[in-house]
A and B are shown apart, each in its own frame.
Chain A
């Protein structure tokens, strides 16, 4: 699955759960981005960031090695919405690694978020 195909699939899958980006001109778009969104876009609700650089995982099999393509995805909570629900939907639809929760820290400004990798072969 190409990155573009994955973006299309995720946007359709998560349409009712995604938050929004507010652009400098005031327009809003769904909060899902391939890479790092522009710094002047303001996210609200649940944001999904898809890493455009794939990772590869080697899985040893009986007689050879399977190379699985993995796309890192980050689900970030900006106030409202449920990042956990978004993660659940992704895991139900795709083969993924175990989601990892990054706990928030007010003192350090770290937002609550999950990381996981969507696998495809």
Chain B
């Protein structure tokens, strides 16, 4: 009786995982930007709550990039991005008055609320099933 053998095409499976990783990060990027553009942030003046879009520079500076097959970078390339996210103490006017700017941590809030691992797992499963169909 012949031996029974199962061979897995690991290249196919890894390619599926790589594709799902990029797709999951694209969804994560949209979730990040949703929290930049949504009226969810308390403001000391009306209207409140409001978004954190002023002239649109921060929102438009968002740059997603796959660095390696396992590293994906989400960046907002403005000088003040970190100050908006973490809040900041800054000098106003003549440089003497010091004011505080409230934190708007859109990345931290997204990572708390959006189940990235679940999204990636579902996408990876679907992609693997699609690529291995007929085995």
Contacts and interface: CB of A to CB of B under 8 A. Distances in A.
Interface size bracket, B side? 10 to 19
Interface in B48-97: 79-80, 82-83, 86-92, 95-97
A115 B87 contact: yes
Contacts of B90: 108-111
A105 B86 contact: no
B89 A113 contact: yes
Contacts of B86: 100, 102, 115
SS class, residues of chain A in contact with chain B: strand
A102 B98 contact: no
Contact of B83 (A36, A47, A102): A102
Contacts of A115: 86-87, 103
Contacts of B87: 74, 115
Contact of B88 (A42, A43, A47, A113): A113
A102 B34 CA distance: 23
Interface in A46-97: 47, 49, 72, 74, 76
A107 interface: yes
Give the interface centre of B80, B86, B103 by most chain A CB atoms within 10 Å: B86
A8 interface: no
Given A108-B90, A109-B90, A43 B80 contact: no
Contacts of A74: 87, 89
Residue of A36, A108, A109, A115 contacting most chain B CB atoms (<10 Å):
A109
B82 A100 contact: yes
Contacts of B79: 103, 105, 107-108
Given A36-B100, A43-B98, A109-B95, A49 B89 contact: yes
A44 to B, nearest CB: 11
A39 B89 contact: no
A39 B89 CA distance: 12
B97 A105 contact: no
19 contacts: A36-B100, A39-B98, A39-B99, A72-B103, A100-B86, A101-B82, A103-B79, A103-B82, A105-B80, A108-B83, A108-B90, A109-B91, A110-B80, A110-B88, A110-B90, A111-B89, A111-B90, A113-B88, A115-B86
Interface of B: 79-80, 82-83, 86-92, 95-100, 103
Interface of A: 36, 39, 42-43, 47, 49, 72, 74, 76, 100-103, 105, 107-111, 113, 115
